[in-house]
A and B are shown apart, each in its own frame.
Chain A
Amino acid sequence: MKKTGTGNTDKNKRSRKAKGRLLPFAFIGPHLILFTIFVLIPIIYGLVISFTRWDFINSPVWAGLENYREILFNRESTYHIQFMDGLKNTLLFVVLNVPVSILVPLLFALLLNMKPRGSKIFQSILYLPTLFSISAVGIIWMQMLNKRFGLISMFGVKHSVTTTYPYVWIALIIMSVWWTMGTNMVIYQAALSGVSKDLYESAELDGAGALKRIWYIALPSIRFQLLYTLVITVAGSFNVYGQPLMLTQQGVGGAPKVNVLIMYIKNLAFGSGQSIAGMASAMAIILGAFILVVSFIQFRLVSKDE
């Protein structure tokens, strides 16, 4: 009986241990399945395609590292020129867009955190553009920036700001920030609302002004949210596509004034002619690797801070 009892206890322990081991998988399982289907398999598939020549119709032909060599090292190649041009424009967009996309929503979040009259309405209105499609956003801004019929014509602007450097970049960043700032703003607002009011009041009693209270209390308190939004904004900016496509298109059939890397990738894979899917995949993999490295560095910074 004793033996049997011990046996049962061991069995129960093992069973509980097994359940304990399986429990985390039950939680992450659904996500893992979705991740495998919609992220992992496509990445592997894309990686395999990048080593081939393929038009999506006929059988792919193995090309080894030829696509990568062509993109990275053959200076005469169209694909090298396109990659470098796309990468240059994409990096410029990241450099210009990320700081503004962090600072502007942060500013609005700080203002809204002061609970001005109608703050909920302002919050809703500021968040609203995030819900629009890029098509709608592009049309709104194209009309506003139309030098003959748009809002800017009222201020005597004579330049076509969507096709003239450097105005095109300014317009692009303003439109992007207007469209996307809602997400970051809500994150900051949520974080700021969790900061104890006692800290602000103590600081105020000690003679700290508004700027000092923001700098020494508000910002350090939401540093994790700031780092998180930095990571997602950088990754999102590397994947920029819709904004320049919509805003800087030069008439019927014309190429946009700002060609980012995703545009070249898309046009190679799904342009008007036979698909060049292998080359497009290779470019996408290189871009993905680039984003991976940048994100890794950012995450290391976050971990270090922790």
Chain B
Amino acid sequence: MIKKNGKIGLSLCLTAALMAGTFAGCGNSADAESAKTAAVKETAEKVNADVQDGVVKSGDDASDEGTSENEIEFWNFFTGPDGDNMKAMVEGFNATNPKYRIKNVTMASGDLYTKIPTVVNSGKGIPDLTIVDVARIPMFYAQGLLESMKPVLDAAPEIKKENYKAAVWDTGTFDGEQYAVPLDMGVIGVAYNKDLVEQYAPGVLDDNLITIDEIKEIIPKAAEDGIVTIPVSFFGYEQALSLAKQEGAELFKDETTPNINGPEFAKAMQTLKEIVDLGGCSDEGEDNLQLFMAGEAIFCPDGVWDANALNAIEGLNWGITNSICYNTDTFYNFANSNQFVMLKNDARSDEKEKTIAQFLEYVRQNTLEWARSGQVPASSAADDEAEYKEMNQHFFVSTPEIEESIQFKNYKYTGYADDAINKVFGDILFGNIDLEEGLNQAQKQVEDNIAQNQ
């Protein structure tokens, strides 16, 4: 038995040991507090999508009394704030009293993609309508998972290429037939801090293009004040693709031949590495969005969907522009795209397909609601809306030239390339692995993976 004083001492020791926990999240920058809160929230959403097992949320429209007999089961992965915008559209459509109500089933993207093979193989519980990313569509088509959208297009004649952005519409076309209807374009450009641009890079954005030479000129001045010029480790893969595309290179030479260790992609990676070596990038492992939100980076490669998170930061005066380029002759902006597809299901009736057509037509017409989530709508219906024109992401459809710069990674084996490049990207950039060795490793990984499916 220890004495009373000893017990109190022990108690104090334990208290001290536990104090560390109470410091969680404490920082030394008061200015960064709001940025931090928003970033934490966003990280949590991303993390949940990556790690959680099972359905994370069922849509509020999932009526208790409803059955699959009188509902259109609609799977999507809008687990973040964009879920509210989709919910608003679903509710709006259901309020029109359609024959079948839309049952909004939201889950983490990883779960959705894991569940698809299971339900398709079992033939049970196949959703009537599903959102998938453009990068998966050629693969799903090749695997025979997708139903033609022809009945939907026949039932809703306004759902046609002319009413959508042409480039994104074509990503769902195979052998002249449509297998997907696009919802949006998640363009990845370069966000910029207007105040810091004024201070360190005046005039650079006059042509809406940031060249590599301009970046290299800005770096020394910004670095003197501890300001990061452009954290190219954040969405840097898409910046590298844009640079490689300017040199005429695609991610794949043909359907089964990756082009990762080709000279164009190697040059693009070398260019990004030079920015890092010159001190223009943040350090390895930094939270770059947080950095930008805290006003410590002039530019930040980012996707348009982060608009609401950036808007929430008080005092952050920001805009978004094109991806970085070698020169002003050509530029490209790579994008994701959420698209509606129908997975093969013999049990889906013609009547259901008609209601799906009505829903997609409703979404097309009311696409402004989706623009509010930060995305660039694939439908042109909102192009003339004053509210949309005020949004930062409208930049990417503001001129035909910029709109035409939008590119998609819609190859059959995009997923393999994404995984392989992301594995080595940071290590190449920060010099942990030789550039050539890293790209060869990624190339080999994609080749080996493709060989497994031959």
Give the residues from 258 to 306 in chain A that come closer than 8 angstroms, CB to CB, to chain B. 267, 270-276, 278-279
Contact code string B392-435 (vs A, CB < 8 Å = 1, else 0) = 00000000000000000000011110110011111000000000
Given A79-B448, A270-B114, do A111 and B44 touch, yes or no (CB 8 Å)? no
Chain B residues near A150 (CB, 8 Å)? 25-27
Q: Are B27 and A273 in contact (CB under 8 A)?
A: no
Chain A residues near B349 (CB, 8 Å)? none
A267 to B233 alpha-carbon distance, docked (Å):
22
Confirm or deny: A225 has a beta carbon within 8 angstroms of a beta carbon on chain B.
no
Confirm or deny: B309 has a beta carbon within 8 angstroms of a beta carbon on chain A.
no
Contact code string B42-72 (vs A, CB < 8 Å = 1, else 0) = 0110011011100000000000000000000
Q: Are B415 and A57 in contact (CB under 8 A)?
A: no
Chain A residues near B44 (CB, 8 Å)? 135-136, 139
Confirm or deny: A193 has a beta carbon within 8 angstroms of a beta carbon on chain B.
no
A81 to B431 alpha-carbon distance, docked (Å):
20
Confirm or deny: A115 has a beta carbon within 8 angstroms of a beta carbon on chain B.
yes
Q: How many residues of B contact A (CB 8 A)?
A: 74
Given A162-B285, A270-B110, A270-B113, do A252 and B24 touch, yes or no (CB 8 Å)? no
Partner of A111, one of B10, B288, B296, B426: B10
Give the residues from 136 to 151 in chain A that come closer than 8 angstroms, CB to CB, to chain B. 136, 138-144, 146-151
Q: Are B14 and A111 in contact (CB under 8 A)?
A: yes
Partner of B448, one of A78, A114, A160, A251: A78
A275 to B452 alpha-carbon distance, docked (Å):
9
Q: Of the listed stretches B28-36, B74-82, B168-176, B259-267, name the one at the interface; the rest are far from the partner chain.
A: B28-36
Chain B residues near A151 (CB, 8 Å)? 20, 23-27
A274 to B452 alpha-carbon distance, docked (Å):
10
Given A149-B290, A149-B294, do A78 and B444 touch, yes or no (CB 8 Å)? yes
A148 to B27 alpha-carbon distance, docked (Å):
8
Confirm or deny: A48 has a beta carbon within 8 angstroms of a beta carbon on chain B.
no
Confirm or deny: B332 has a beta carbon within 8 angstroms of a beta carbon on chain A.
no
Partner of A53, one of B28, B117, B452: B452
Chain A residues near B113 (CB, 8 Å)? 270
Given A57-B145, A245-B51, A272-B135, do A148 and B32 touch, yes or no (CB 8 Å)? yes
Given A122-B18, A253-B237, A255-B423, do A116 and B24 touch, yes or no (CB 8 Å)? no
A163 to B445 alpha-carbon distance, docked (Å):
23
Contact-residue bracket for chain A: 35 or more
CB distance from A129 to the nearest CB of B (A): 8
Confirm or deny: B252 has a beta carbon within 8 angstroms of a beta carbon on chain A.
no
Given A114-B7, A151-B23, do A139 and B43 touch, yes or no (CB 8 Å)? yes
CB distance from B65 to the nearest CB of A (A): 32
A141 to B40 alpha-carbon distance, docked (Å):
12
Q: Are A149 and B32 in contact (CB under 8 A)?
A: yes
Confirm or deny: A98 has a beta carbon within 8 angstroms of a beta carbon on chain B.
no
Chain B residues near A46 (CB, 8 Å)? none
Q: Are B286 and A148 in contact (CB under 8 A)?
A: yes
A267 to B288 alpha-carbon distance, docked (Å):
25
Chain A residues near B317 (CB, 8 Å)? none
Given A118-B11, A135-B47, do A57 and B120 touch, yes or no (CB 8 Å)? yes
Name which residue of chain B comes closest to A138, CB basis: B47
Q: Are B419 and A273 in contact (CB under 8 A)?
A: yes
Given A151-B26, A273-B413, do A114 and B449 touch, yes or no (CB 8 Å)? no
Q: Are B121 and A57 in contact (CB under 8 A)?
A: yes
Given A77-B448, A143-B40, A144-B25, do A116 and B10 touch, yes or no (CB 8 Å)? yes
Q: Are A126 and B426 in contact (CB under 8 A)?
A: no
Chain B residues near A271 (CB, 8 Å)? 415-416, 419
Partner of A143, one of B25, B441, B444: B25
CB distance from A164 to the nearest CB of B (A): 7
Name which residue of chain B comes closest to A126, CB basis: B18
A267 to B120 alpha-carbon distance, docked (Å):
21
Given A251-B234, A273-B449, do A148 and B47 touch, yes or no (CB 8 Å)? no
Chain B residues near A141 (CB, 8 Å)? 24
A122 to B20 alpha-carbon distance, docked (Å):
14
Q: Are B50 and A245 in contact (CB under 8 A)?
A: yes
Q: Are B27 and A254 in contact (CB under 8 A)?
A: no
Chain B residues near A153 (CB, 8 Å)? 27-29
Chain B residues near A125 (CB, 8 Å)? 18, 21
Confirm or deny: A224 has a beta carbon within 8 angstroms of a beta carbon on chain B.
no
Q: Are A251 and B11 in contact (CB under 8 A)?
A: no
Contact code string B435-447 (vs A, CB < 8 Å = 1, else 0) = 0000001001100
8 shortest A-B CB distances, which residue pairs?
A273-B415, A163-B285, A272-B415, A160-B285, A56-B117, A116-B10, A273-B416, A250-B426
8 further A-B pairs in the complex, CB-CB below 8 A; given A114-B10, A149-B290, A272-B136: A114-B2, A135-B44, A150-B26, A151-B24, A245-B50, A255-B424, A270-B110, A274-B415
B interface residue numbers (CB < 8 A to A): 2, 6-8, 10-11, 13-15, 18, 20-21, 23-29, 32, 36, 40, 43-44, 47-48, 50-52, 110, 113-114, 117-118, 120-121, 135-136, 139, 143-145, 233-235, 237, 283-288, 290-291, 294, 296, 413-416, 418-419, 422-426, 441, 444-445, 448-449, 452-453
- In the complex, 25 of the A-B residue pairs with CB atoms within 8 angstroms, ordered by the A residue number, are A81-B441, A111-B13, A114-B6, A118-B11, A122-B11, A135-B51, A139-B47, A140-B24, A140-B25, A141-B24, A143-B36, A148-B286, A149-B36, A151-B27, A153-B28, A160-B284, A160-B285, A162-B285, A251-B286, A252-B234, A253-B235, A253-B422, A270-B113, A273-B139, A274-B453
